[in-house]
Amino acid sequence: MGYGSCPAEVIERVRGKDGELQLQRRGKEFEFIFNGVFLMASYNGAAEREMVEAVLKNRGTEHAGQILGKGLIGTAAGTVDTSNLRVLMGGLGMGLGLQEALRFPGVERVDLFELEEAVVRWNRGPLSELNGGALQDPRVNVIQEDIVEFLKEDEIISRKENQLYHAVILDTDNGPGWLSRPENAFLYDVRGTRLLRELLLPGGKLSVWSSAPVPRYLTLLQTVFANAREKELFEKTGQTSYYYLAVK
């Protein structure tokens, strides 16, 4: 029986910050519905996990002025440092990306922005078995705020090196071309993309999940970052998903 033919059991429906959120189960799988529109599902997590792995394992990195080696940061001497990694994540979802990030022993801290209280609560409740109880990991710092507002406020702040990140991971929408809320357009425009870049250490990476290719966004990333690429993946359902990876 396919996922679509399995009846959905509604676990909870709540009024969120920008509309109605619904968590439902199909067999052993979970789905998010936002304002009556499908948002994400646990059976479509391949791209989410791989984009996190690509950031933290430096998979597929091309030249960015110089080869960065097998870690995230290249030094003048050509050595690399993959310890004490600081990660910023925008969007918790079902915690699959967070679980993947925590799998890497070099990750020291994950600052995770999630606007919706219900999503945090579901991840600590019915979704905790799915994501291995990721929110219970002491390395995780949940910030229940809008990452857009954080970026706009951060624009006037001069950050020290120890306040910057080795990786920034965005999974806040169905991609740059399909927003869950209009305010998130800021994350994918020139100003927002430059602010995301400024949060990264040299050699750091930005990864962004998308349900479909968005050529204009890839062009923007290639303009703002040293290099950027788009990766297509196939989910268990046979559907395609994408992520963007950009190197500072």
Q: What is the CATH number of the domain that holds 198?
A: 3.40.50.150
Q: Is residue 114 scored above 80 in pLDDT?
A: yes
66 occurs within a structural domain? yes
Strand order in the sheet with 29-34: 9-15, 20-26, 29-34, 37-41
Task: Give the whole-angstrom CA distance, residue 119 versus residue 125.
Answer: 10
178 occurs within a structural domain? yes
Q: Which of 36-50, 58-72, 187-201 has the lowest mean pLDDT?
A: 58-72
35 occurs within a structural domain? no
- Highest mean pLDDT among 4-8, 71-75, 79-83, 227-231 belongs to 227-231
Residue 203's domain comprises 43-247
24 occurs within a structural domain? no
pLDDT of residue 60: 34
The number of domains in the chain is 1
Say what the pTM is.
0.87
Q: Is residue 221 scored above 50 in pLDDT?
A: yes
* Per-residue CA distances from 237 to 25, 62, 243 (Å): 16, 30, 17
**Residue 148, number of CB atoms within 10 A of its CB:** 20
Pairing of β 165-170 and β 9-15: unpaired
Q: Which of 141-145, 170-174, 196-200 has the lowest mean pLDDT?
A: 170-174
pLDDT band (50, 70, 90) for residue 75: very low
Q: Is residue 68 scored above 60 in pLDDT?
A: no
Q: How far apart are the first and last CA of the chain?
A: 45
7 occurs within a structural domain? no
76 occurs within a structural domain? yes
67 occurs within a structural domain? yes
65 occurs within a structural domain? yes
The mean pLDDT of the chain is: 87
* Per-residue CA distances from 197 to 67, 214, 222 (Å): 19, 19, 12
Task: Give the whole-angstrom CA distance, residue 46 versus residue 67.
Answer: 27
